[in-house]
């Protein structure tokens, strides 16, 4: 869960509140009842509460703030290195006054006492962030899923200089260059697809 957790935290801290929950959701859905399930459930609803407050959906924000607080209530103030206590305090305040979001930002999520940003992520967390940001920002999700597969294949073969790794890191870390990076990534994926399709079946018996 570590890579998913860090990816979602960094995406949230960069202001992509809706996308943040996507980094956690698939893992959360696979969890049995327990502290980790409550933890991710609470974080998902926390980001949704912030999102709805920012869009002035006051009833949605207060309802989610209440239920998120209930999920997080049994957990320690510092669960899995995340500032759960601060999140709970903010949820209680947001439930009482959702318009507070217009007077100041929601708290950053911290991981081991540091507010993670997108530039702090290793490749595993970056790959998750790239896919959820691509979906949230309207890029081709299938393109990024394929790019992540190629990047992981290159790393498994010891190719630390993989262009797929570089482009995914750049896409996540440099918001101003995302459009051009996505275009170049698309070209590289197309070339790799063609190269791999050219050798498929060459040694199959006809």
Provide the number of structural domains found in the chain.
Answer: 2
Say whether both 166 and 70 belong to one domain.
no
Q: Is 132 within a domain?
A: no
Residue 190 is assigned to a structural domain of this protein: yes
Do both 20 and 88 map to the same domain? yes
Domain end position, chosen among 117, 152, 179: 117
Residues facing 111 on adjacent strands: 82, 114
- Count other C-beta atoms under 10 Å from residue 166's C-beta: 15
**Exposure on the CB side of residue 39, measured as CA atoms within 13 A:** 24
Residue 133 counted as domain residue: no
In a domain, 134, yes or no: no
Same domain, 101 and 149: no
Tokens of 138: 């309207």
53 and 96 in a common domain: yes
Same-domain pairing of 41 and 99: yes
Q: CA angle, corner 45, sides to 117 and 23, nearest 5?
A: 45
Q: φ and ψ at 79, to 5 degrees?
A: -100, 125
Q: 68 and 29 in one domain? A: yes
Whether residues 15 and 78 fall in one domain: yes
**Is residue 110 located within the same domain as residue 10?**
yes
- CATH number of the domain enclosing 105: 1.10.3450.10
d(CA 143, CA 16): 20
What pLDDT digit, counting tens, does each position of 43-67 carry?
A: 999 999 999 999 999 999 999 999 9
Same domain assignment for residues 32 and 107: yes
Residue 169 is assigned to a structural domain of this protein: yes
Q: Is residue 85 a part of any domain in this protein? A: yes
pLDDT of residue 1: 74
Residue 184 sits in which domain range? 139-199
Residue 101 and residue 159 share a domain: no
In a domain, 124, yes or no: no
pTM of model > 0.95: no
- pLDDT digits over 4-34, tens only? 999 999 999 999 998 999 999 888 887 788 9
| Dihedral pair phi/psi, residue 111, rounded to 5° | -130, 115
Distance CA 93, CA 84 (A): 14
Residues 64 and 147 in one domain: no
pLDDT at 66: 96
205 within a domain of the structure (yes/no): no
| Segment 111-155, tens digit of pLDDT | 999 999 999 999 999 999 999 999 999 999 999 999 999 999 999
């Amino acid at each position: 869960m570590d890579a998913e957790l860090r990816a979602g935290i960094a995406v949230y801290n960069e202001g992509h509140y809706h996308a943040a929950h996507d980094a956690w959701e698939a893992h959360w859905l696979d969890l049995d009842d327990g502290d980790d399930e409550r933890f991710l459930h609470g974080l998902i609803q926390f980001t949704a509460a912030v999102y709805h407050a920012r869009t002035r959906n006051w009833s949605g924000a207060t309802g989610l703030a209440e239920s998120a607080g209930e999920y997080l209530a049994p957990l320690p103030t510092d669960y899995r290195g995340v500032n759960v206590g601060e999140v709970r305090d903010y949820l209680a305040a947001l439930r009482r006054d959702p318009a507070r979001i217009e007077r100041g930002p929601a708290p950053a999520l911290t991981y081991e006492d540091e507010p993670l940003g997108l530039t702090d992520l290793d490749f595993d967390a970056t790959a998750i962030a790239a896919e959820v940001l691509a979906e949230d920002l309207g890029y081709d999700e299938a393109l990024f899923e394929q790019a992540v597969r190629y990047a992981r294949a290159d790393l498994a073969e010891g190719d630390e200089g993989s262009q797929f790794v570089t482009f995914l890191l750049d896409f996540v870390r440099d918001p101003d260059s995302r459009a051009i990076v996505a275009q170049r990534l698309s070209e590289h994926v197309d070339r790799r697809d063609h190269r791999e399709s050219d050798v498929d079946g060459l040694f199959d018996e006809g």
